[in-house]
Chain A
Amino acid sequence: LAKTTQPISMDSYEGQEVNITCSHNNIATNDYITWYQQFPSQGPRFIIQGYKTKVTNEVASLFIPADRKSSTLSLPRVSLSDTAVYYCLVGDWGNAGNMLTFGGGTRLMVKP
């Protein structure tokens, strides 16, 4: 499984756009990139998944450059309720087993 590196923590203010970047230099051809969000004492929640270029849903956007060695999760106009830990995961969930391998995540603090 490709190793991921993301900032340990980030601070932002309400209404700002937040971009969290994840490095995955050893990503394999069949690997997909997935992001999860976790609030304290709750289970992680799936946010978004992508393979290349840009993916957008009602919650976030995911930008993946052509070399796929990194990805950026973009949260538009964050609010206090977006304070959480965000995990970047990389894997080939079709062939390499279905488990999710979580790293340390990025602790996002949104301030008023």
Chain B
Amino acid sequence: DSGVTQTPKHLITATGQRVTLRCSPRSGDLSVYWYQQSLDQGLQFLIQYYNGEERAKGNILERFSAQQFPDLHSELNLSSLELGDSALYFCASSVEGSPYEQYFGPGTRLTVT
């Protein structure tokens, strides 16, 4: 158990819909990262937040957005969903000063039908 929690575990929705994935980092970790893992693209970094502020952006689509709240939990919003958005979405957190050592949550498996 990494200490990072993600909900829901599974999500099945239809094309065109919008969903919200939730992540709670390990106690004390200020950084939250979102990654997408699909069969054809592998593990891809989406976005990072640090203490409520966006710090780095990766290959995140404009249809996707995220935020980190004052209690440090984060939400990833995916809208206008397409079949290709079906993937495992991981959240990770890290200790200040050790960004290379990230602790990953169990992931949310999103299936778009």
Q: Are A98 and B31 in contact (CB under 8 A)?
A: yes
Q: Are A97 and B90 in contact (CB under 8 A)?
A: no
Q: What total of chain A residues lie within 8 Å of the partner, measured CB to CB? A: 23
Shortest CB-to-CB span from B96 to chain A, Å, is 11
Is residue B24 within 8 Å, beta carbon to beta carbon, of the partner chain? no
Q: Mark B74-95, 1 if CB is under 8 A from A, else 0.
A: 0000000000000010101010
Q: Are B43 and A44 in contact (CB under 8 A)?
A: yes
Q: B residues within 8 A CB of A105?
A: 42
Q: Are B100 and A49 in contact (CB under 8 A)?
A: yes
CA distance in complex: A100, B94 (Å): 11
**Chain A residues at the B interface, C-beta cutoff of 8 Å:** 32, 34, 41-46, 49, 87, 89, 91, 93-94, 97-105
A sample of 28 inter-chain contacts (CB < 8 A) reads: A34-B100, A34-B101, A42-B106, A42-B107, A43-B2, A43-B4, A43-B92, A43-B104, A43-B105, A43-B107, A44-B90, A44-B102, A44-B104, A45-B2, A46-B101, A49-B100, A89-B100, A93-B100, A97-B48, A97-B56, A98-B33, A98-B55, A98-B94, A100-B35, A100-B45, A100-B102, A102-B43, A105-B42
Question: For chains A and B in complex, what number of residue pairs have CB atoms within 8 angstroms?
Answer: 63
**Chain B residues at the A interface, C-beta cutoff of 8 Å:** 2, 4, 31, 33, 35, 42-45, 48, 55-56, 58, 88, 90, 92, 94, 99-107, 109
Shortest CB-to-CB span from A89 to chain B, Å, is 8
Main secondary structure of the interface of B (DSSP, over half): strand
Q: A residues within 8 A CB of B99?
A: 93-94, 98
Q: Are A99 and B100 in contact (CB under 8 A)?
A: no
Q: B residues within 8 A CB of A103?
A: 42
